[in-house]
Copies of this chain bind each other. A is one copy, B any other.
Amino acid sequence: MAEKLSENHETLVQSLLGGSRRAAARMITLVENQSANTNELMKLVYPHTGKSMVVGVTGAAGSGKSSLITHLIRKFRDQGKRVGVVAVDPSSPFSGGAFLGDRIRFQAHALDDGVYIRSMSSRGYLGGLARSTSDVVRIMEAMGNDLVIVETLGAGQDEVDIIHVAQTCVLVLTPNMGDDIQAMKAGIMEIADIVVLNKADLDGAVNCLRNLEATMHMAMTHKDSGWAVARIIPTVASAPKTEDLQGIDELVAAITAHQAYLHESLVIERIQAKRIEQELSLVFRDEVEKFIFKGLSGTGKKRQYIKEILEGSSDPYSVVEEVLSTFLKV
C-alpha cells in the first residue's frame, strides 16, 4: 500500500516536472489539505526547486496589485518566461473574491499555457498559511516556472512570514490609502526592495510621492542586503486606454535590476539560506504540533486538560510543561 502510494507520487512528480497543470493542481490540493504523505511528496519536489525568480507583490486590498501583476505576467511572457502566480490575498480578483468584471479580465491569462495561477483562500490553514504558501511556491518552481509571483495583503504577521519566500519584494502603495500607510510602515516597508505608487493619476499623487520619498529615505538606510530603494515608481495599472498606462516598463526593469543585483552580489545565497531557515521553522512547528496533539487527543487527555484549566486546578503553562516532559527527550 505504501509502495503503491509512493509510486503514484513519483508519477505525479514526473508530470509536474513536465509542466502539467493537472499535476500541479492535484499536488497543491494535497498540500493544502496536509494529507498524509504530503511530506514524502514534497521531498520528491524539493530537489527540482530553487532556480526560479520569486517576486512578492504586497499591498492593501484595492491598491491594484492584481492589475499590476496582470501587466507583469504579460511583460515576462513576452520575454518567453513561464509564470506562476500564488494569490494569498482573499480579496484578490485571482482568488475570485472580486467583482465579475475583474475576474473576467484576469482570466484572460487562463488560456495561456505558460501561465499558472492559483489562489490560496485564507481559510483552513490555522497556523499554516505561511507553510502552505511556501510549499505551493516550491511546487510552482518545480513545475518549470521561471518566475513565481506571490500576491499578499501587506498586513499582519502571517503576511510578513509569507513575503519572506520572495527574493524581490514589491510594495504597492496608493495616494488614497491614508491610515493604511501607517500599517504598512510598521512591518512591510523595510522588507520592500521596490516601492510602487499605483493610481498615480489620482489627485494628490505628486504630493504623496514627495512625502513618501522623504519618509522612506530614512527607513531604507538599514536594509541588510545592501540594496537601496532609489526612488518610488509611480504607476497607473488600470486605465481605459493602453496609452494611459504608466510605469509598467519601469517596474519590470526594476525587478530585473534587483534580481541581477542579487546574483552579482551573491546576496541571493543569503536570501536562499534565509528562506530555508524559515521553511525549517514552519515545517517544524507544524509537525511537532501534529505529533503532540495526535498523542493528546488519542488519550482524551486534551479535553481533561481544558477541564482542569477551566476549573482552576491547572493552567496552560503547567499543562504544556507536563506534556513536553512526556513527549520530549528532556
**Chain A contacts to B: CB under 8 angstroms:** 39-40, 42-43, 46-47, 50, 60-62, 89-91, 97-98, 121-123, 125-127, 129, 153, 155-159, 161, 178-180, 182-183, 185-187, 269, 272-273, 276-277, 279-281, 283-285, 287-289, 291-293, 302, 305-306, 309-310, 312, 315-321, 323-324, 326-329
Contacts and interface: CB of A to CB of B under 8 A. Distances in A.
A39 B284 contact: no
Contacts of A47: 312, 315
A329 B292 CA distance: 10
Contacts of A287: 320-321, 324
Given A281-B127, A283-B317, A155 B157 contact: no
B310 A273 contact: yes
A183 B284 contact: no
B62 A280 contact: no
B43 A180 contact: no
Contact of A182 (B46, B61, B273, B328): B61
A130 to B, nearest CB: 8
A178 B269 contact: no
A120 to B, nearest CB: 11
B126 A91 contact: no
Contacts of A123: 186-187
B129 A180 contact: no
B317 A61 contact: no
Contacts of A323: 284
Contact of A315 (B43, B305, B324, B326): B43
